[in-house]
């Protein structure tokens, strides 16, 4: 009586062929992953270069177009002084100081800036609720809506302007936003490439800007494309 038939063992050459194919598949997958990573890295760095160049070329307008109101986002040097100068010169009817410290009373800000007490009394509002740029946009939108303003001058630093406009547009709808970038450090000659402090600020802001773009774009997939890097004022 014959015993159970043994299964044929693949020849050594066949086993070697199977192993070689597996290794080639693994190498191809690793190569594809490497190409994708390199491509993403190059896209990120290319985007950063475009962002930094765009920000560096923003300049404070020599003559600002009039608007219904003015919003200044606190946190950067010279922002508040620039906004008060615009209000004083009649470029807007009213000013919102968004993101002020909870302990900073309106009268304290007026004294610290040397602003006109009468102007502060009639035409300046202060927002304490905003803790970041998203909060600035939310509180500013409430203020704009409550006053039915159709156009607003936005005052913030040049590096902060693209993200600020993106967040504000998400909140204020059809209200016209007029950028008024405040420039503390001249970078339009490419100085940001060798200025470590400026490079660090720009890189951090770029990462935050990408997050803002994603936050705006994801709910709108399948709709019209999101416009980015729209801030252009005076240069």
Residue 45 confidence (pLDDT): 84
Residue 216 confidence (pLDDT): 79
Q: What is the mean pLDDT of each run of 10 residues along the chain (235 residues)?
A: 54 56 73 76 85 92 95 89 95 96 91 91 95 95 96 96 95 94 85 87 94 80 48 44
**C-alpha 110 chain-centroid distance:** 29
Question: Which CATH architecture group holds 17-235?
Answer: 3-Layer(aba) Sandwich (3.40)
Residue 90 confidence (pLDDT): 95
């Amino acid at each position: 009586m014959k015993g159970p038939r043994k299964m044929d063992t693949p020849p050594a050459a066949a086993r070697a062929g199977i192993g070689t194919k597996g290794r080639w598949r693994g190498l191809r997958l690793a190569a594809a992953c490497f190409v994708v990573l390199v491509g993403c890295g190059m896209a990120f760095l290319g985007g950063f270069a475009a962002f930094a160049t765009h920000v560096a070329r923003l300049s404070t307008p020599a003559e600002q177009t009039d608007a219904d109101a003015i919003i200044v986002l606190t946190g950067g040097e010279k922002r508040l002084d620039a906004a008060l100068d615009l209000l004083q010169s009649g470029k807007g009817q009213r000013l919102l100081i968004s993101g002020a410290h909870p302990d900073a009373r309106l009268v304290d800000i007026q004294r610290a800036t040397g602003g006109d007490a009468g102007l502060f009394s009639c035409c300046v509002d202060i927002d304490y609720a905003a803790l970041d740029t998203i909060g600035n946009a939310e509180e500013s939108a409430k203020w704009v809506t409550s006053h039915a303003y159709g156009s607003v001058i936005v005052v913030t630093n040049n590096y902060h302007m693209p993200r600020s406009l993106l967040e504000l547009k998400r909140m204020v709808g059809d209200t016209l936003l007029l950028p008024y970038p405040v420039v503390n450090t001249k970078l339009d000659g490419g100085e940001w490439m060798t200025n470590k402090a400026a490079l660090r600020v720009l890189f951090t802001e770029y990462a935050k800007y990408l997050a803002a773009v994603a936050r705006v774009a994801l709910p709108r997939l399948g709709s019209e494309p999101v416009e980015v890097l729209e801030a252009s004022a005076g240069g």
